[in-house]
Amino acid sequence: MSVIKYSRQREAIKEYLMHTTEHPTADTIYMNIRKTFPNISLGTVYRNLNLLVDQGEIIKLRCEDGCDRFDGKTDEHYHFACKRCGKVMDLEMESIEHINKIAGAGFKGRIDGNVTFFYGLCPDCCTEDE
């Protein structure tokens, strides 16, 4: 098994994800990191994102719109996607991990967890409706 060496690019990606709540796509991350590392390549961004996901330092979100988004917040929380503007946000809500028990009730396998995505209209799009 190979050792993981420090890299400024990876550090910058991690740093960027720690300080945004936007749940950016790989391409958005690429555009932003380029401000600091103009020569960084998309391939490097992808390689580092996958590495960070494997290490559990960031989370990969499989969105409805097809492409992946990344989240630097790794503690248990839930996401919301706006059906109108596509924005993805964190939800401040109490735990719903009890649904794992509900799901496991009549199931012969083992339930380890769940991925839950809520959808509807975000606060901004909701206001526009009035």
Q: Which is nearer to DNA, 24 or 122 (CB)?
A: 24
CA 57 to chain centre: 11
- Residue with token string 């494997």: 54
Position among 4, 96, 99, 126 found at the interface with DNA (CB under 7 A): 4
Q: Which is nearer to a copy of itself, 12 or 58 (CB)?
A: 58
Tell me which residues in 8-67 interact with a copy of itself (CB under 8 A): 62-64, 66
Tell me which residues in 16-35 interact with DNA (CB under 7 A): 25-27
Position among 75, 76, 109, 128 found at the interface with a copy of itself (CB under 8 A): 109
Position among 83, 86, 88, 130 found at the interface with a copy of itself (CB under 8 A): 83
Instruction: State yes or no: residue 9 binds DNA (CB under 7 A).
Output: yes
CB of 13 within 8 A of CB of 71?
no
- Residue with token string 């959808």: 119
CA pair distance 19, 72, nearest whole angstrom: 8
CA pair distance 51, 65, nearest whole angstrom: 23
